[in-house]
Amino acid sequence: MGINQSKGVLRVTLVRSKHGRLRKHQACLRGLGIRRMHKPVMVEDTPCTRGMINKVSYMLQVEEA
């Protein structure tokens, strides 16, 4: 299995702490698979993940991989 390269992949990194944030925003980070600060994760570029990234964009750094 793994991430399908044809859809595009994004490298998402948490650059601001998730502590003290809204529970819905923390849930978006969990949904993206982000566990620690400054540890990048690779996610598929889909409308669902784009929505989660847009909701918590003030805490993230996003790059195309």
The CATH number for 39's domain is: 3.30.1390.20
| pLDDT attached to residue 19 | 96
Collapsing DSSP to helix, strand or coil, 4 comes out as: coil
| pLDDT attached to residue 7 | 73
In a domain, 12, yes or no: no
- Tell me the pTM: 0.85
CA–CA dist 2, 15 (Å, integer): 25
Angle, CA 35 vertex, CA 33 and CA 36 arms, to 5°: 140
| pLDDT attached to residue 32 | 97
| pLDDT attached to residue 2 | 58
| pLDDT attached to residue 4 | 52
Domain count for the chain: 1
In a domain, 6, yes or no: no
In a domain, 32, yes or no: yes
Question: Mean pLDDT in runs of 10 for the chain (65 residues)?
Answer: 68 97 97 97 97 97 95
Backbone angles phi, psi at 42, to 5 degrees: -105, 125
